[in-house]
Amino acid sequence: MNHFTWKKRLSQLVIVMVMLTLFPLTGFAEENDINMDPPLIGFEQRDGETWTTHEEEIEFLEEVATLSDRVSYSQIGTTVEGRPLHLVRVGFPEPPSDEDIANGNNMLVIGTQHGNEGAPREMALKLLRDLAFTDDEERLELLQDATILFIPTANPDGREADTRSNAEGIDINREHLSLRTLEVQAIASVLDEFNPDITVDGHERPRASGNPDIEMLWPRNLNVDEQLRSLNQEMVEDHLLPEVEGYGFSTGLYGTPGGAGGGDERIMRNMLGLRNGLGLLTETAGLQEPNYRVDAQMRTVEGVLSFYYDRFEEITSAVSEAPERQASLGNEQNQPFYLDGADNWEPTNVIEKKPTGYLLTNVQVDAMEKHMNFFSLEKENVYSAGEYVTMSQPKMGVIPFLFDKRATYNEVEGIALYNSQNVGTATNMSLLVDHFANENAFTNTSDVRTLKMQLTAVDRFEKKEDTSKVNKHLNGLIDLLNYQSDNDLVSEDAAEDLMKYALFLKEKWLD
């Protein structure tokens, strides 16, 4: 080798070394991140003697997001006492944009809806940290395909006070239909925006000392898409229970038929299914040693991640197709809607013939604004006098619970309609009279004919847009309904709904 060649190669080597110093390879940078000592939560620093404090949680989230490109977080709400609720996003090599997360695959882990149930929160914080720094190929592949979301502390005020309820004294896990607390609204905004494939709802049984160590359950509400419920049940019974038992924990199903663990539409577990996703309730024994409880929660959710990875395509298909199946089912009036019951408990309150939808007044629409938004309910304006919410839509599973007067926890009592033609007109009201006649709601067929004759007159002048004569005949219709009701010529339910419809038409034709 001549002197010139040697000097040339030495120069090239120096240049390469300088460039590596200035611009390290991505792989090396990632390796450095992995080899970095991950931060510990306060619970770990004190070896489980006390829970992580609120201040420690905030510092921890900031540290993890700073040290790992895989993590970002943002505030999604504020409690009545001013504490933030955070949403953490974990993806590989970094979290996608929120728009891409919503359009892609994701899973959500929610910790500590009940403030005195601390283990799920510590699990969520530990798990998001572990995912942020893991070098496990299976986990990294999953993080490439799906973003894992966390709401580590769903009830910060309750956690601070060590109470089941929030600062207002409300059990937020009974408000996922009403949406009446700030915490639940923050959770609902995440569920509505991202539509998770799987959501874990972490809880504890505060007075339980074990036997079993951890209980689990899927959404049991009978209005959940059948394919989702079947896959959900398989995840719990065939995958999670035996896997967690393999780590030495005793397991069981949460609740008893007709009691806790049923189909209550207000609780998160069932609402997850009604929102067309897979859901898992975890319940550790609250009197056991804290580290043991957190480990049980960790093993369970790690099992969920493995199930998600192993059955990714099947889960994606089941979840993505469920909205269309539900919309189609909502259009099948011969299929019942269950206002109570569960997949292990016979229902006692059943709508045998589903309405096509519900007619709401403007006052009711205003009262239900947040529900319309957080459930992404489709609605149709009806002559500026109200709105019609059809059952033929993806979230049909929550609609009767919200609007039907027969539902136990309804928010408003809309008018259940059984025909969607010409909604908000005398013609449509006449079809509702036919429905009640078929249900034997009238004493005599002559009473049906009298009502329909009066509605024919209203319809004639509606088409002519003769406001004065429409109102004249509507007043006559209202008098007739009062007469039939006072003389027990029509059932109470039918009289109530028909009177509501007549008053709706009056509002529509106000001078």
CB-neighbour burial class of residue 13 (10 A; exposed 0-12, middle 13-18, buried 19+): exposed
* 12's tokens: 């090239």
The per-residue pLDDT for 13 is: 41
Write the pLDDT tens digit of every residue in 89-136.
Answer: 999 999 999 999 999 999 999 999 999 999 999 999 999 999 999 999
Q: What is the pTM for the complete model shown?
A: 0.92
pLDDT at 208 over 90: yes
Bond from prior residue into 152 cis (ω within 30 degrees of 0):
no
Write the pLDDT tens digit of every residue in 430-469.
Answer: 999 999 999 999 999 999 999 999 999 999 999 999 999 9
Write the pLDDT tens digit of every residue in 399-436.
Answer: 999 999 999 999 999 999 999 999 999 999 999 999 99
Q: Which amino acid is residue 220, in one-letter code?
A: R
pLDDT at 31 over 90: no
Write the pLDDT tens digit of every residue in 178-195.
Answer: 999 999 999 999 999 999
Cα gap 337→315, rounded to integer Å: 25
Write the pLDDT tens digit of every residue in 240-293.
Answer: 999 999 999 999 999 977 778 899 999 999 999 999 999 999 999 999 999 999
The per-residue pLDDT for 35 is: 60
The per-residue pLDDT for 511 is: 57
Angle at CA of residue 73, ends 125 and 310, nearest 5°: 60
The per-residue pLDDT for 256 is: 78
The per-residue pLDDT for 117 is: 99
Element (H, E) at 106: strand 105-111
CB-neighbour burial class of residue 144 (10 A; exposed 0-12, middle 13-18, buried 19+): exposed
Return mean pLDDT, the chain.
94
pLDDT at 26 over 50: no
Choose among 388, 394, 383, 392: nearest CA to 365.
Answer: 388
The half-sphere exposure of 132 on its side-chain side, counting CA atoms within 13 A, is: 28
The per-residue pLDDT for 27 is: 39
Q: Where in the chain is CATH 3.40.630.10?
A: 36-84+97-149+182-205+223-321
Choose among 213, 205, 206: nearest CA to 295.
Answer: 213
The separation between CA 397 and the C-alpha centre of its own chain, rounded to angstroms, equals 11
Contacts of residue 509, Cβ cutoff 8 Å, sequence gap at least 6? 462, 467, 470, 471, 474
Write the pLDDT tens digit of every residue in 293-342.
Answer: 999 999 999 999 999 999 999 999 999 999 999 999 999 999 999 999 99
The separation between CA 81 and the C-alpha centre of its own chain, rounded to angstroms, equals 24
pLDDT at 21 over 90: no
What are phi and psi for residue 90, nearest 5 degrees? -125, 120
Choose among 154, 61, 57, 150: nearest CA to 109.
Answer: 150
Domain 36-84+97-149+182-205+223-321 CATH superfamily: Zn peptidases (3.40.630.10)
